[in-house]
Amino acid sequence: MAFAPVDDPLLADFKAQLDPIYALAEASPGFVWRLRADDVPLTLPRSPLDERIFATVSVWTSLEALKAFVYAGAHAQVMRRRREWFGQFDGPYVALWWVPAGHAPSVAEAKERFDYLRVHGPTPFAFSFADAFPAPNEAAIRTTEGDDRLRILLTQLDGAWEMLDARLADRRPWQSEPGGSEPTLADEEYFWEPVGGCWTLRRRERATNGRAYGKGEWVVDYAYPSPQPAPVTTIAWRLCHLALWQLMRHDYTFGRHTLTLDDITWPSTAKDAVAFLADSHRQWRTALDGIGVADLDTVGRSQMPYGLDPTVRFVDLLAWTNTEFAHHAAEIACLRDLYRARFGASISQAT
């Protein structure tokens, strides 16, 4: 973060070097395109707006070409003086990602990738110079021409999420802004056990399984393989289950391939659970926007060690995970209906 806005006299020396550095970039081997000041303001707003955060967006033919420009010559000399104009920035200050030939990223796209890197660390969706990912084949980046499978699968997932979000927020699907209403799920309904012997979320000292899964005070009932017949589950268990497998598949498809059930801190309130599910879904859905047709036919695109992920095509895995999501979302909706019928809770007709 700069010590002052770019037009402040304190940054006059820095500002005087911008045009020469931009000209040097454009004349450098491997340069393709950059976002110009005429196209977008130099500052990248935060909330509250902060004119001391500057953004540049550019496209290069290779990581090596970009490195050669950044870490050598006049640009490197300016970087060595950065403490004269900028304070310490918390976290990464550069985000890299691969784009198809001819694509010109927007500031919104750059900010999404940058924010994703800050939250999740280096992944194929956004990475750093130190933890770079190789360039995929051109078709694997984002080419969908002539192949409608990805659009259909993502539309299906978006529809299932919208209907579940509506039921949790007590609104009609597609009738108001998603996330615009507070969830109506109370803790009593969250933990309600419609029959005896339910699987649910419990304090660790009250765990009923021989193996308690979870990082903190709360653990989930779970067994592998699942008992037959499968136990009835609470809304708490279903919400945590949906969030868990989105987090797991995200990590073993786009992340570090290290997440386990014991790494999860389970939400002990209904409000926290809805937020936990929304965050897990955002991670999974955002990462899916970065895949292409070639990914769909790749066997083992997800390496999650639980189940068949490493042995099936990604298109088949997405079809399965969408089905599982809709299946469990319908169970949550059904449990809400049963709770209303039994206890008279006020739940509007969001069907």
Residue 265 belongs to a domain with what CATH number?
A: 1.20.120
Which pLDDT value is given to residue 184? Answer: 86
Q: Buried (b) or exposed (e) across 136-162, using 16+ Cβ within 10 A? A: beebbbbeeeebeebeebbebbeebbe
**Residues 173 and 115 placed together within one structural domain of the fold:** no
Residues 47-76 have pLDDT tens digits of 333 555 677 899 999 999 999 999 998 988
Alpha helices in 106-231 (DSSP H): 107-120, 138-142, 149-169, 187-190
**Residues 206 and 127 placed together within one structural domain of the fold:** no
Q: How far is CA 305 from CA 77, 208, 240, 257, 259, in A?
A: 47, 25, 19, 9, 10
Residues 139-196 have pLDDT tens digits of 444 444 457 888 889 989 999 999 999 899 888 776 655 444 566 899 999 999 999 9
d(CA 171, CA 272): 19
d(CA 312, CA 297): 9
- Sign of the Cα torsion 258, 286, 239, 313 reads negative
**Residues 124 and 200 placed together within one structural domain of the fold:** no
Q: Which domain holds residue 117?
A: 9-135
Which pLDDT value is given to residue 345? Answer: 55
Among 135, 165, 200, residue at a domain's last position: 135
**Residues 174 and 117 placed together within one structural domain of the fold:** no
**Residues 87 and 162 placed together within one structural domain of the fold:** no
**Residues 303 and 206 placed together within one structural domain of the fold:** yes
Say if residues 253 and 162 touch (Cβ distance below 8 Å): no
Among 135, 160, 184, residue at a domain's last position: 135
Residue 79 has pLDDT above 60, yes or no: yes
Residues 303-333 have pLDDT tens digits of 998 888 999 999 999 999 999 999 999 999 9
**Residues 127 and 156 placed together within one structural domain of the fold:** no
In a domain, 349, yes or no: no
In a domain, 271, yes or no: yes
Lowest mean pLDDT among 96-100, 204-208, 290-294: 290-294
Question: How many distinct structural domains can be found in the chain?
Answer: 2
In a domain, 28, yes or no: yes
- In the chain, the amino acid numbered 133 is F
**Residues 327 and 200 placed together within one structural domain of the fold:** yes
In a domain, 143, yes or no: no
β-bridge partners, 199:
233
Among 135, 166, 200, residue at a domain's last position: 135
Is 176 strand, coil or helix? Answer: coil
Mean pLDDT of the chain: 83
